[in-house]
């Protein structure tokens, strides 16, 4: 019997299982060595005693097989006197994620947070971990654990940057849902914004739009408009169609239609085109206020820009006209929309027409 190779762990990949079996027992009938085993052996032979993290990093980047890279990474970590650097962890994390080895990535995450690297992780590695956690729903809370670790880390150079805050804000916004849940996450958004300002990080237009969107989703429109004004006055960023769109939609949903229309008019004067959801919010709000001419004008502008409204928006305008005693105008508008390319399909046209016929018929009050 050969001496057991006690230092080699039971790796998950096919190469390491073969190497383990070879080390644990001898056989009078030796099997042939596979090409992948030869490749693994050649790389471990190149990493001679005294190899550095830079040597390991170069070896990992040279691999086309992610399992082979993971085996080299684990083999090197068992060498006496050697510890992987943050750069090596960053490389193997990228390899694991690109190959969709998410279980390996989660194991690496725990190792890094437990202090396995030879020196404290740098900001790029921390940001890579946050990006991974934000992409996996069950790791959402771990992203904020990493953020807290960055705040308490040394040296001071490993401080959260704009990219860190943007990723966390996006992760929070993805969890916004119905109002009670949204308000819970809005508290976290406010906390992040305060910490970002206190640390001296200057937001860009993308990050400011995320903040505006968060406030608008919760209908905190005074705060949303304050951030909108700060974009130009304080940070020198030009509001884009998303900046205007979040504010316009929030104001319409809040019932502050006049202010919403003022922002909408300014947006269109600048040549910015709203999204379909913003268009529909404006059309529905105008129709419910009985301002049908304005609503129809916005609806035509929407169709001219290559967007079609949903059935609820069309129904709000058409049935609103009928209830206002303007049934003929409703039928004429529906005919116009039905003949406009891209406005609606034949099934939607038929459903809306049936609804108008039903509304135009006399009904017993009882």
Q: What is the 3-state secondary structure (H, E, C) of 8-70?
A: CCCCCCHHHHHHHHHHHCCCCCCCCCCHHHHHHHHHHHHCCCCCCHHHHHHHHHCCCCHHHHH
Residue 362 has a pLDDT of 67
Would you say the pTM of this structure is higher than 0.85?
no
The domain covering 203-274 belongs, at the CATH homologous superfamily level, to Tetratricopeptide repeat domain (1.25.40.10)
Give the pLDDT confidence score for residue 3 in this predicted structure.
41
Q: What is the pLDDT along the chain (366 residues), one digit of tens a residue?
A: 444 333 344 444 544 554 445 444 444 455 565 666 776 777 777 787 888 999 999 989 988 889 989 998 998 888 888 999 999 999 999 999 999 999 999 999 999 999 888 888 889 999 999 999 999 999 999 999 999 999 887 666 578 999 999 999 999 999 887 767 788 889 999 999 999 999 999 999 999 999 999 999 999 999 999 999 999 899 999 999 999 999 999 999 999 999 999 999 999 999 999 999 999 999 999 999 999 999 999 999 999 999 999 999 999 999 999 999 899 999 999 999 999 998 999 999 999 999 998 887 765 554
Domain residue spans in the chain? 203-274, 275-360
pLDDT the model gives residue 275: 96
pLDDT of residue 31: 59
Say which CATH class 275-360 falls into: mainly alpha
Residue 36 is predicted with a pLDDT of 66
- Residue 26 has a pLDDT of 46
Dihedral sign, Cα of residue 356, residue 358, residue 360, residue 366: negative
Distance CA 302, CA 146 (A): 44
Alpha-carbon span 23 to 208, nearest angstrom:
58
Task: Answer whether the bond into residue 68 is a cis peptide, omega within 30°.
Answer: no
d(CA 13, CA 252): 56
Contact by Cβ (8 Å): 228, 243? yes
Is residue 79 classed as helix, strand or coil in its secondary structure?
coil
Looking at residue 47, its pLDDT comes to 80
């Amino acid at each position: 019997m050969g001496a057991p190779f006690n230092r080699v762990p039971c790796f998950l990949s096919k190469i390491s299982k073969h190497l383990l079996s070879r080390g644990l027992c001898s056989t009078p009938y030796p099997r042939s060595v596979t090409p992948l085993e030869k490749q693994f052996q050649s790389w471990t032979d190149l990493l001679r005693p005294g190899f550095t993290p830079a040597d390991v990093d170069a070896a990992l980047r040279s691999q086309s097989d992610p399992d082979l890279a993971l085996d080299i990474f684990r083999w090197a970590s068992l060498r006496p006197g050697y510890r992987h650097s943050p750069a090596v962890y960053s490389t193997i994390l990228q390899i694991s994620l690109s190959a969709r080895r998410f279980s390996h990535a989660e194991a690496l995450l725990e190792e890094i947070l437990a202090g396995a690297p030879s020196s404290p992780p740098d900001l790029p590695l921390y940001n890579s971990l946050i990006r991974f956690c934000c992409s996996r729903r069950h790791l959402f809370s771990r992203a904020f654990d990493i953020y807290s670790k960055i705040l308490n880390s040394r040296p001071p150079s490993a401080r959260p940057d704009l990219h860190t805050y943007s990723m966390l804000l996006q992760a929070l916004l993805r969890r916004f849902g119905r109002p009670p849940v949204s308000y819970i996450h809005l508290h976290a958004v406010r906390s992040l914004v305060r910490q970002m300002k206190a640390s001296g990080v200057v937001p860009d237009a993308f990050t400011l739009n995320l903040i505006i969107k968060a406030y608008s989703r919760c209908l905190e429109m005074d705060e949303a408009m304050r951030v909108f004004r700060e974009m130009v006055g304080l940070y020198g960023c030009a509001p884009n169609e998303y900046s205007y769109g979040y504010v316009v939609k929030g104001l319409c949903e809040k019932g502050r239609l006049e202010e919403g229309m003022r922002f909408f008019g300014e947006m269109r004067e600048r040549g910015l085109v709203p999204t379909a959801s913003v268009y529909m919010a404006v059309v529905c709000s105008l129709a419910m206020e009985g301002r049908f001419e304005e609503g129809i004008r916005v609806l035509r502008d929407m169709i001219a820009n290559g967007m079609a409204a949903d059935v609820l928006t069309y129904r709000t305008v058409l049935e609103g006209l009928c209830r206002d005693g303007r049934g003929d105008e409703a039928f004429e508008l529906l005919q116009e929309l039905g003949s406009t390319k891209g406005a609606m399909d034949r099934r939607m046209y038929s459903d809306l027409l049936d609804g108008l016929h039903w509304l135009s018929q006399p009904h017993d009050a009882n």
